[in-house]
Amino acid sequence: MKIVRVEDYDKMSRTAANIISAQVILKPTSVLGLATGSTPIGVYQQLIKWYEKGDLDFSQVTTINLDEYKGLSPEDAHSYKYYMRDAFHKHINIKPENIHLPNGLAEDPDAECRRYDDVIQNSGGVDTQLLGIGHNGHIGFNEPGSVFHRDTYVTDLTSRTLEANNRFFSKEDVQPVSAYTMGIKAIMQAKRIVVIVSGKSKAAILNTALNGPIDPQVPASILQIHNDVTLIADQDALSYL
Ligand code: F6R
């Protein structure tokens, strides 16, 4: 694993955006695996800036997101489809048919999981996967558990994750308690993984994920055995290492 230590969130965002833009420039038909949450916002903002300058072209790029809340429509402001549209997709020239997220409203969740695995498979696989890490070590919504799940599945969100994400929901909103997530196999099959981590609150789990045993109780620990992971983290996030 390559570890790139940066000063702060801005530098982390620009460094990760550099890797993604190199990926898109060198391979215009790239398949990007994307994440939501607070951490990647700065990466998306930087990529949009370079796109607006004319340096990036997303017309042949495919994006495949890690996860989506079960039960939310794409129009719901809390859905990840909405987040991605707002934070990234509507600002660039990506084709709508090349944007993939699980369908939170699918009537048959099992069929939806298989459909999503087919999307990943038929795309030819993810070239560069952008990942954040949850405070409990989750990647995507692969929560701590007794096994690493292979394929896309519906998972119940842990109280830790619900608590961490309730900042995005107001009192009147109903916060979903389950989500579709790409399995560990698809994440680990990405040719390259870029992990971004910022802030003191992630320092302990980052240390456990990198230096502890590979254990499904710390899903991010599986990244230790991928052969092309670049961790870009700020000083605060790396303060326990
Ligand atoms: C969301 C996702 C999650 C987040 C993680 C960290 O698509 O994949 O694993 O990366 O929950 O979230 P933030 O960045 O909000 O701390």
| CATH, residue 148 | 3.40.50.1360
Write the DSSP symbol of residue 183.
Answer: -
Q: Give the mean model confidence (pLDDT) for residues 13-37.
A: 98
Cβ neighbours of residue 28 closer than 8 Å, sequence gap 6 or more: 57, 59, 60, 61
Q: CA 106 to CA 72: how far, in whole Å?
A: 10
What pLDDT does 212 receive?
98
- Indicate which residue's Cα is closest to atom 6 of ligand 1: 134
**CB-hemisphere CA count at 13 Å for 14?**
6
Asked if the structure places residue 196 within a domain, the reply is no
The arithmetic mean of pLDDT across residues 29-52, rounded, is 98
Any atom of ligand 1 within 6 Å of the Cβ of 30:
no
Q: Is residue 195 part of a domain?
A: no
Q: What average pLDDT does this structure show over 191-215?
A: 98
User: What's the chain's average pLDDT?
Assistant: 97
pLDDT beyond 90 at 230: yes
- For residue 174 the two structure tokens come to 């109903």
Would residue 58 count as lying in a domain? yes
Model's pTM, two decimal places?
Answer: 0.97
CB 42 less than 6 A from any atom of ligand 1: no
Q: Catalytic site residues?
A: 67, 136, 138, 143
State which ligand 1 atom lies nearest to the alpha carbon of 131: 10
Average pLDDT on 130-159 reads 97
Question: Which atom of ligand 1 is found nearest the CA of 132?
Answer: 10
| Beta carbons within 10 angstroms of residue 224's beta carbon | 14
Report how far ligand 1's centroid is from the alpha carbon of 165 (Å).
9
| Residue 120 within any structural domain of the chain | yes
Angle at 81 between CA 120 and CA 90, to 5 degrees: 105
Count of domains forming the chain:
1
| Domain-located, residue 153 | yes
Q: What is the percent of the chain where pLDDT is above 70? A: 100
Task: Determine the 3-state secondary structure of 72 from DSSP.
Answer: coil
The region of weakest confidence among 28-32, 47-51, 167-171, 231-235 is 167-171
How does residue 171 score in pLDDT terms, banded at 50, 70 and 90?
confident
Measured in Å, residue 39 CA sits from the centre of ligand 1 at 7
Task: Sort residue 34 into left (φ over 0), alpha (ψ -120 to 50) or beta.
Answer: beta
- Residue 20 belongs to domain spanning: 2-188+201-234
Q: 178: exposed, middle or buried (C-beta count within 10 Å: 0-12, 13-18, 19+)?
A: middle
Give the number of other CB atoms < 10 A from CB of residue 153.
18
Pocket test for ligand 1, best of 13, 63, 66 (most atoms within 8 A of CB): 66
User: Could you tell me if residue 193 is inside a domain?
Assistant: no
Evaluate whether residue 240 is within a structural domain. no
DSSP, collapsed to helix, strand or coil, labels residue 34 as: strand
Q: Using 50, 70 and 90 to split pLDDT, how confident is the model at 53?
A: very high
Q: Is residue 105 part of a domain?
A: yes
**pLDDT score, position 7:** 98
